[in-house]
Amino acid sequence: MSRIFDFSIPALFDLLHADAAAALKEAATSRNYKDGDIIHVQGETTEHMNWVESGAVAFGTLTEADGFLQMVELGQGHHYGEFVYYECQPRKLSAQAIGPTVIMAVHFEQFRKIVEEFPEILKACFQVTSSKNALLLEVYDDARRLPSAQRIAKMLVILSRGRKPETSLPFTQSDFSVILGISKVTVNQTLKKLEEQGIIELGYRFIRVLNLDKLRQCAKRS
């Protein structure tokens, strides 16, 4: 997948005041990765809270048979591993660098001390996690109850949140197939129908929503 879905969830550093952000950055160490480098693998125990300083990180599963299967991407300013505030746990997913990437890491002991001084960090982490959980529940409920065509339309609606009208979404039909677990044939047929109705425009590695109101109607449960 060339690009992964941006669900308009706020980045941690977008929610922090300058002094709290500076405290985290001062305590952090950096590590550079090349495009395609594996940052960590599922099951590894971590002692660090991390964030993407530059570049992007794909999270997914890594197997010998299928290689790396991407599920989600985090860009600049987004964090992961904040659970080390409570206890060190195994990584739930593997991670791979997308392009040249710099990852910052703060050891859990330092992270706890910084949070004691700046409790807004924990509040910001909670806000981001709550947004992610709400989205996951929504997508999970759609997967249980919506037909494939409606799920695809609903995903386009979700992706359009917080964006200007008719903004190009940098996603491909293959991206939808992988993320939603729907065959490429069904995805292609559904998107073509939406395009024929003037609801979306399909381009090279992008999809543009032309009529969000009609798209919402397509996404509603019958």
pLDDT digits (tens, 9 = 90+) for 90-125: 888 999 999 999 999 999 999 999 999 999 999 999
| Residues 96/97/98/101 CA torsion (nearest 10 deg) | 160
Other Cβ atoms less than 10 A from the Cβ of 185: the count is 9
N-terminal to C-terminal alpha carbon distance within the chain: 32
pLDDT digits (tens, 9 = 90+) for 41-81: 999 988 999 999 999 898 888 877 778 877 778 888 999 99
Domain 147-219 has CATH 1.20.1090.10: no
Edge-first strand order for the sheet with 200-203 is 168-169, 206-209, 200-203
Average pLDDT, the chain: 88
Query: CA torsion sign, 84 to 88 to 89 to 91?
Result: positive
Model pTM score: 0.74
Query: Domain 12-139 belongs to what topology?
Result: Jelly Rolls (2.60.120)
- Are the folds of 12-139 and 147-219 the same? no
How is the chain split into domains, by residue range? 12-139, 147-219
The answer to whether 27 and 106 have CB atoms below 8 angstroms apart is yes
Q: With CA atoms as reference, report the closest residue to 24 among 89, 129, 126, 113.
A: 113
CA 142, chain centre distance (Å) = 18
| Residue in the structure block whose two tokens are 């952090």 | 28
